[in-house]
């Protein structure tokens, strides 16, 4: 992924910092807005090289729309995850069959991989153990039969990816590229 120009990256950092300032103060007083803008400008000047590599392209309407649509989808997955945890913890026989499985991702950028790892950690029965390039190693609390008895490594990776990473990738691919 090529880097955007410095001005674009700086402006993007400034916008994000100013939005956070708005939420933190939760007031539209003129003095606070001006001071917040000055502070955002100073902090953005110091931190924009490490904050983003793509600049204003992150604010493409399609990306923002997908990000907004992703929020309820993700929250729903999270609630299902917690009901799943409730079932496993409260069930007298403790139905767990843990194991570490291997997945592959199609995402290329680092922010995308980070979001995918976070999403995996918070959704049903899975937690990210390590990420190495395209490979995800995931601790699964209930390894299903189709993954456990896969004939070869490729089939194993394919089945595991289908269950774990695919549902999020269709959103994250658009948001982070």
Partner 1 sequence: MNALAALGEVLVLIGTFFYFLSTLGLIRMPDVYNRMQTSTKSATLGSLGVIIGVGIWAVGNGLSWAWLVKATVIAVFLLLTNPISAHALIRAAYKSGIPLWHGSVVDKYREHIEAKEKVETEAPQEGGEE
Output the CA torsion sign for 7, 69, 124, 164.
negative
Minimum CB distance to partner 1 smaller for 14 or for 81:
81
Minimum CB distance to partner 1 smaller for 45 or for 75:
75
Q: Would you say 107 and 113 are in contact if contact means Cβ atoms under 8 Å apart? A: yes
The correct pick among 88, 158, 167, 169 for binding partner 1 (CB under 8 A) is: 88
The correct pick among 29, 39, 65, 97 for binding partner 1 (CB under 8 A) is: 97
- Does position 69 interact with partner 1 (CB under 8 A)? The reply is no
Of 89, 137, 146, nearest to 117 by C-alpha is 137
Of 65, 67, 63, 52, nearest to 12 by C-alpha is 52
Contacts to partner 1 from residues 144-173, by CB under 8 A: 147-148, 156
Minimum CB distance to partner 1 smaller for 62 or for 90:
90
Minimum CB distance to partner 1 smaller for 8 or for 123:
123
17: its two tokens: 């910092």
Of 136, 102, 134, 132, nearest to 119 by C-alpha is 136
- Does position 109 interact with partner 1 (CB under 8 A)? The reply is no
The correct pick among 3, 29, 134, 135 for binding partner 1 (CB under 8 A) is: 135
Distance in angstroms between the alpha carbons of the first and the last residue of the chain = 9
Task: Give the DSSP letter of residue 152.
Answer: S
- Does position 121 interact with partner 1 (CB under 8 A)? The reply is yes
- Does position 106 interact with partner 1 (CB under 8 A)? The reply is no
- Between CA 29 and CA 39 the distance in angstroms is 15
- Between CA 87 and CA 81 the distance in angstroms is 10
Rule CB under 8 A: which residues touch partner 1? 20, 23-24, 26-27, 78-79, 81-82, 85-86, 88-90, 94, 96-102, 117-118, 121-122, 125, 127-130, 132, 135, 137, 139, 141, 143, 147-148, 156
């Amino acid at each position: 992924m090529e880097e955007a120009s410095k001005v674009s990256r700086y402006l993007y950092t400034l916008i994000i910092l100013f939005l956070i300032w708005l939420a933190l103060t939760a007031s539209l007083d003129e003095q606070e807005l001006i001071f917040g803008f000055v502070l955002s400008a100073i902090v953005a000047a110091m931190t924009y090289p490490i904050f983003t590599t793509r600049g204003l392209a992150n604010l493409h309407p399609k990306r923002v729309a997908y990000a907004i649509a992703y929020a309820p989808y993700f929250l729903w997955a999270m609630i299902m995850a917690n009901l799943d945890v409730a079932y496993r913890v409260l069930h007298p026989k403790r139905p767990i069959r843990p194991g570490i499985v291997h997945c592959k991702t199609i995402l290329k950028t680092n922010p995308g991989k980070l979001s995918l790892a976070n999403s995996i950690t918070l959704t049903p029965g899975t937690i990210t153990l390590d990420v190495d390039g395209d490979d995800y190693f995931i601790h699964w609390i209930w390894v299903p039969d189709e993954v456990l008895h896969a004939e070869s490594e490729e089939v194993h990776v394919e089945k595991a990816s289908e269950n774990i990473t695919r549902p999020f990738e269709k959103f994250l691919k658009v948001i982070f590229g």
